Amino acid sequence: MTRILADLPDDDITWLDQLAAEQGKSRAQVLREAVAGYRAHSPGDGNKSWIRRGAGLWKHRTDIPEGLEYQRAIREDRTPHEDI
C-alpha cells in the first residue's frame, strides 16, 4: 500500500473526521472506501466495465431458476405447434 499526501480544506477534514467517528473507522479507511467506490462507478475501460462488475452477481441465488427452465415453465400452457 502506498501512502499519499493530499491537501484538503479544513471544513472537509472536519466533516471527514466526524464521518469516520460516526462509522467507527479511521479517516484513512473512510478515504480508501471513498476511492474504491469512485473507482467502481467510473467508466474505466469503456462501456463494458459494467458487465465485468455484474458477471456472476446472482450465481449463488437459489430463488432464481435457470433460464431454460424458466422459459419452459412459462410456455407449458401453450399449444404445441404440431397440434395447430
Contact 16, 27 (CB under 8 A): yes
pLDDT at 2 over 80: yes
**pLDDT tens across 39-83, in order?**
877 766 556 667 777 888 888 888 877 888 888 888 888 877 776
- Residue 4 resides in a domain: no
Determine the pLDDT at residue 41.
Answer: 77
Domain of residue 32, residue span: 10-77
Provide the number of structural domains found in the chain.
Answer: 1
- pLDDT tens by residue, 6-31: 999 999 999 999 999 999 999 999 99
**Residue 2: inside a domain, yes or no?**
no
* 43 domain residue, yes or no: yes
Cell of 58: 446472482
- Asked whether residue 5 is domain-assigned, the answer is no
In a domain, 55, yes or no: yes
User: Are the C-beta atoms of 36 and 46 separated by less than 8 Å?
Assistant: no
